[in-house]
């Protein structure tokens, strides 16, 4: 009798426990289609293999406005994903649109994370009114790539073949002139004909002067205007002297460096895997590395943004309960395995990973990881961030000004009239 009772009780208990053990399908949306997309897919596959009870179903959508529009409309009707990647620079607009659901302390606990585990800057960018709305995954920033072979014989390479002696704008321009004199077609390459590339360089050089894009609800107010004009005039000069490419689209700007036509490249960390892979297959043909952008304009600063994980706010249909715990488990796992993501060039926002021996062995990642302290995030406004009006202004005003259609001062004036009205 007792045996039967036990069996019955056991059956009942296991039946009750069944729903909790049921397989959770997590709908995941991201916008990572490049080399980093491949690494993200590897992470997802590894997670799925380790967790038979939680399966991530990933979809990659188009980066930029299309992604954020889809998130916005899908969440409004309760058809959004369970978890998505989100740019922290976009968080202010995301909050205004109410598409981000709060990540509660309980959620963090489910993920096995604490805010103290992360670098401060991205946590600050993900926090609003004391509430956390996204879990930072990385810091990605502009870095200076260099072709060591091309710099051979110049004073800018030390005995170990590492970049040296470039501390100021004058140093950098002297190096560019030296390269040009040696017949290098385009000494420094960046995406000079596109919104994102222009914005990143512009914002880096502005921040290096201590300049701010938005202060007290005013765009480029006070002496920020002069600082911005100085940046645009500097970028114009690079083009005039034939140092930087004319109207280079993104792919062309990368190709200039990988084809050995440029000795320097100002681009994001995410191209690191591209050159690593080329090098591994013996297709690159030169020695290269990358460093934090030197303080050209005086101060250490470099444009930066963060990829983060967020859970869409879908009103009554927002992910909750068991499923939410599973989503947080996914996020926690990703953070702790971010070394796979560091391989894509990004600096993990989860500090423990960057402190690991594995990360310290990763080159040139460990070299430029110093930039985490000098990261300059876009101001937290509705006109800045990925695919924002500020990006449009970069393509519409700064890029042509660099081509010589307008002086820096006039361009700044136009940026101000253009963007001020959108700030509300």
Partner 1 sequence: MAMIENRRKKSLIALTMVTPFVVTFSVFFLYPMLDMIRISFTDAPLVGAGHWVGFDNYLKLFGDRLFTLSLKNNAYFVALTVIPTTVIALLIALAINRLSGFRQTFVMSLFFMPYVLPVSVVTELWAWMLDLQFGVLQPVIALFTGKPVAVFKNPYWVMPMVAVVTIWWTNGFNVLLFIAGLRNIPSELYEAASLDGATTWQKFSRVTWPLLWPVTALVLTLQLILQLKIFDQIYLLSGGGPFNSSYVLLLKVYREAFQSNNGGYASAVATVLFLLIVVISVLQFQLLRIRRAS
Residues that bind partner 1 (CB under 8 A): 65, 69, 72-73, 76, 93, 96-97, 193, 195, 246-248, 252, 382, 387-389, 392, 395-397, 399-400, 403, 405-406, 414, 417-418, 421-422
**Smallest distance, Å, CB 195 to partner 1?**
8
Q: Strand pairing of 302-305 and 375-377?
A: parallel
**Smallest distance, Å, CB 189 to partner 1?**
12
**Smallest distance, Å, CB 238 to partner 1?**
17
For 24, 57, 410, the CA distances from 20, given in Å and listed in that order, are: 9, 19, 63
- Return d(Cα 222, Cα 213) in angstroms, integer: 11
**Smallest distance, Å, CB 232 to partner 1?**
13
Beta-carbon contacts of residue 150 (< 8 Å; ≥ 6 apart):
179, 184, 260, 263, 286
Classify residue 398 by its DSSP letter: I
Residue spans of alpha helices (H) in 25-156 = 35-50, 65-76, 91-96, 105-111, 120-126
Q: Which is nearer to partner 1, 162 or 261 (CB)?
A: 261
**Smallest distance, Å, CB 397 to partner 1?**
6
Q: State both tokens at 163.
A: 């970049």
Q: Which is nearer to partner 1, 31 or 156 (CB)?
A: 31
Give the containing element (helix H, strand E) for 243.
Answer: none
Q: Which is nearer to partner 1, 175 or 232 (CB)?
A: 232
Q: Which is nearer to partner 1, 247 or 367 (CB)?
A: 247
Category of 297 on φ-ψ map: left (φ > 0), alpha (ψ -120 to 50) or beta? alpha
**Smallest distance, Å, CB 416 to partner 1?**
12
For 21, 123, 244, 305, the CA distances from 89, given in Å and listed in that order, are: 37, 12, 27, 6
- Return d(Cα 135, Cα 86) in angstroms, integer: 9
Q: Which is nearer to partner 1, 124 or 261 (CB)?
A: 261
Q: Which is nearer to partner 1, 110 or 392 (CB)?
A: 392
**Smallest distance, Å, CB 65 to partner 1?**
6
Classify residue 163 by its DSSP letter: B
**Smallest distance, Å, CB 335 to partner 1?**
30
Q: Which is nearer to partner 1, 194 or 294 (CB)?
A: 194
Supply φ then ψ for residue 265, to 5 degrees: -140, 130
Q: Which is nearer to partner 1, 318 or 414 (CB)?
A: 414
**Smallest distance, Å, CB 161 to partner 1?**
31
Residue with tokens 């591994």: 280
Name which of 376, 344, 369, 341 is nearest 355 in CA terms. Answer: 369
Name which of 301, 412, 333, 350 is nearest 48 in CA terms. Answer: 333
* DSSP notation for 271-310: GHHHHHHHHHTT-S-S-EEEEEPP-TTSS--EEEE-EEEE
Classify residue 115 by its DSSP letter: G
Q: Which is nearer to partner 1, 61 or 113 (CB)?
A: 61
């Amino acid at each position: 009798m007792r045996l039967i009772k036990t069996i019955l009780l056991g059956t009942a208990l296991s039946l009750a426990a069944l729903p909790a053990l049921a397989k959770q399908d997590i709908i995941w949306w991201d916008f990572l289609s490049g080399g980093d997309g491949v690494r993200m897919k590897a992470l997802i596959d590894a997670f799925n293999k380790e967790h038979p009870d939680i399966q991530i179903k990933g979809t990659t959508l188009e980066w930029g406005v299309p992604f954020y529009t889809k998130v916005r409309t899908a969440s409004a009707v309760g058809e959004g994903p369970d978890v998505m990647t989100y740019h922290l620079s976009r968080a202010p607009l995301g909050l205004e649109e109410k598409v981000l659901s709060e990540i509660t302390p309980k959620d963090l606990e489910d993920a096995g994370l604490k805010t103290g585990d992360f670098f401060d800057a991205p946590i600050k960018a993900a926090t609003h009114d004391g509430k956390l709305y996204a879990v930072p995954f990385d810091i990605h920033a502009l870095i200076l790539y260099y072709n060591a072979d091309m710099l051979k014989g110049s004073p800018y390479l030390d005995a170990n073949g590492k970049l040296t002696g470039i501390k100021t704008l004058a140093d950098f321009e002297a190096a560019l002139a030296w390269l040009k004199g040696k017949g290098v077609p385009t000494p420094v390459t960046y995406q000079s004909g596109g919104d994102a590339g222009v914005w990143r360089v512009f914002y880096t050089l502005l921040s290096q002067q201590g300049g701010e894009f938005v202060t007290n609800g005013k765009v480029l107010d006070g002496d920020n205007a002069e600082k911005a004009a100085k940046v645009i005039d500097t970028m114009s000069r690079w083009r005039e002297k034939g140092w930087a490419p004319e109207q280079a689209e993104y792919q062309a700007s990368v190709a200039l460096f990988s084809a050995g036509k440029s000795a320097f490249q100002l681009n994001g960390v995410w191209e690191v895997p591209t050159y690593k892979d080329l090098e591994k297959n013996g297709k690159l043909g030169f020695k290269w590395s990358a460093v934090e952008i030197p303080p050209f304009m005086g101060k250490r600063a470099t444009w930066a943004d963060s990829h983060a994980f967020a859970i869409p706010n879908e009103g009554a249909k927002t992910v909750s309960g068991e499923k939410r715990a599973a989503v947080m488990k996914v996020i926690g796992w990703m953070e702790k395995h971010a070394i796979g993501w560091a391989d894509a060039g990004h600096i993990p926002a989860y500090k423990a990973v960057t402190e690991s021996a594995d990360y310290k062995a990763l080159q040139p990642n460990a070299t430029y990881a110093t930039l985490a302290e000098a990261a300059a995030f876009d101001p937290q406004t509705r006109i800045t961030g990925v695919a924002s009006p500020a990006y449009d202004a970069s393509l519409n005003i700064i890029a042509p000004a660099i081509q010589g259609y307008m002086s820096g001062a006039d361009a700044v004036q136009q940026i101000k009239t253009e963007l001020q009205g959108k700030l509300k």
